[in-house]
Amino acid sequence: MLQQILKTMYVDPEILSELSEEQKQLLFFKMREEQVRRYKEWEQKEDKKPKKPPKPGKRRIQFLKGADGEPWTWVMGEGRGDATIEEIMDREDQLRAQRLAEKEAEELKRRNEEVLRAKLQTEKEKLEREKRELAEAARRREEEAAYASRKEAKMAAERARKAWAEQERQAKELEKKKEAELKRKEQMERRRSFEEVHKKAEKRAKELYMSLKEARETAIKEAEQEQAHKDTEWRQQLQKQKEADKRRSMLARNAREEFRRSVHTAMADNKKQTVYDVATQLRKQSLGGAAPGSSSSKTSSPTQATLPARPSSRQEVIRWFQDFEQPRQAGMDARTHQVAAWFHGIISRQEAESLLEGRPIGSFLVRVSERVWGYTISYRADGRCKHFLIDTSDNTYQFFGTNQLSHTSLWDLVSFHMKEPISSTGGEVLKTPCGQSRQPPDYRDLLGESQNSSWL
């Protein structure tokens, strides 16, 4: 199945939905590898083709070449005389802190100006009020003098004029002094306000710079810690994967050794048989029925290679199971020769998750897929369900992907993963089979009598 996908570089959305997250990641990785391989082949072919001379007058782009003959590149912070990344970031923090401090200083200056204008307005109103009071006093004296005798009026008028002139002179001098004092106070207030704003701006800029620097250092430290944690997890997962691969290789080697010993033992019992004859007999015994190459198999059912890429209907899946899988005792308990407790018929992903809902972690079932020629293990994990696609396209049972351990029967695959985890990262060990919840069972239409039917 994987080879077919890599050949067409297309995966059916329904097949994709049946894959687990690990299987999806593996598939995307393999497709990317195939893309790179095809591109390199195309690139080699293009290099071998004779290059056409450029047309006269045609514009071309020419890149500046470096000493190594490759296009010249410049990486900020690595050139001669360039500031380091740390220096650039430090400078940016300083500028940012300076801009923030200037903004705050402008706001403080605006508030101080409002306070100063209010004070000046109060002083001006006070001066105007004193002027009005002096003018009112002079008017009252003139009215009093109008009632006196002529002589007294003249004398009083002269005295009043002199007094008024003196008072006016004194009032003008006093007004000038007050205006001068007011201007001096205004200048002092403005100077004091400017110095205060400037000092606060410098102090605030330093505080903002230090806070930004600390925040940047904290972010870098947290990123380094997170990266170190990810690296540790990756190394642990890699180690687990290596150990799992080592165990799989050891089990496969042991299986080959056991098969070889069985062949030699059978040959020792009957020296007239060849290695091929003994292997064929052992293969028939492992399948629990007739050999794939027998005459009945050739006449009653098609081969796996003649099947379409994916089933188009539920009835096709039923015929496939009855023609290919039922003779191989798929879904049967090898000990009791009865239907295995974990086996289910053609049920959907949602139905499988509904059956597993509320069950303990490690509960599982094996269902016949309606979207591919194979099966799916639905597994109850912590907080969710996982689904693992089982590929049967090579007449063996293995999980979707490359370098997977192949099993001769579905029972062997399930029994193996009741001891060994499906993936090294998730550690999914099959523990508790999830049986049927209704009668008749959902596999009834699969385990009926095999029907001879024509495949299109």
Three-class HEC string of 9-45: CCCCHHHHHHCCHHHHHHHHHHHHHHHHHHHHHHHHH
Secondary structure (DSSP) of 419-456: TS-S-TTT-----EE----SSS-TTTTTSS--------
Residue-wise pLDDT for 230-287, tens only, equals: 888 888 877 877 777 777 777 767 766 776 676 666 666 655 555 445 555 555 554 4
Q: With a cut of 90, say whether residue 414 has pLDDT above it.
A: yes
Residue-wise pLDDT for 158-217, tens only, equals: 777 787 778 778 878 887 887 788 788 878 887 887 788 788 888 888 888 888 888 888
Residue 365 host element (H or E): strand 363-368
Alpha-carbon distance of 231 to 426, in angstroms, equals 17
The encoded tokens of residue 263 equal 């062949």
pLDDT band at 449 (very low <50, low <70, confident <90, very high): very low
- Determine the residue type at 221: K
Question: Which residue would you say has higher pLDDT here, 60 or 376?
Answer: 376
Residue-wise pLDDT for 419-432, tens only, equals: 888 887 778 899 99
CB 418 within 8 A of CB 431: yes
Residue-wise pLDDT for 284-335, tens only, equals: 554 444 434 333 333 334 455 557 777 888 898 999 898 889 988 899 998 9
Q: With a cut of 60, say whether residue 372 has pLDDT above it.
A: yes
* Residue percentage of the chain with pLDDT more than 70: 83
Least confidently predicted of 141-145, 205-209, 277-281, 404-408: 277-281
pLDDT of residue 150: 58
Alpha-carbon distance of 163 to 157, in angstroms, equals 9
Q: Coil, strand, or helix at residue 398?
A: strand
pLDDT of residue 371: 82
Is there a cis peptide before residue 440, judged by omega within 30 degrees of 0?
Answer: yes
Q: Coil, strand, or helix at residue 258?
A: helix
How many whole angstroms from its chain centre is CA 416? 34
Alpha-carbon distance of 35 to 32, in angstroms, equals 5
Residue-wise pLDDT for 9-44, tens only, equals: 888 777 787 777 777 888 888 889 899 999 999 988
The encoded tokens of residue 213 equal 């620097």
CB count within 10 Å of CB 340 equals 22
pLDDT of residue 370: 84
Alpha-carbon distance of 216 to 208, in angstroms, equals 12
Alpha-carbon distance of 77 to 207, in angstroms, equals 27
Q: What's the rounded mean pLDDT across residues 57-82?
A: 80
pLDDT of residue 450: 41
CA dist 139 → 135, 153, 155, 285 (Å): 6, 15, 17, 138
CA dist 262 → 105, 133, 211, 283, 286 (Å): 91, 131, 75, 11, 12
pLDDT band at 131 (very low <50, low <70, confident <90, very high): confident
Alpha-carbon distance of 426 to 178, in angstroms, equals 88
pLDDT of residue 295: 35
Question: Which residue would you say has higher pLDDT here, 113 or 290?
Answer: 113
Alpha-carbon distance of 347 to 317, in angstroms, equals 12
Alpha-carbon distance of 232 to 227, in angstroms, equals 8
User: What are the start-end ranges of the E strands in 370-409?
Assistant: 374-380, 385-391, 398-399
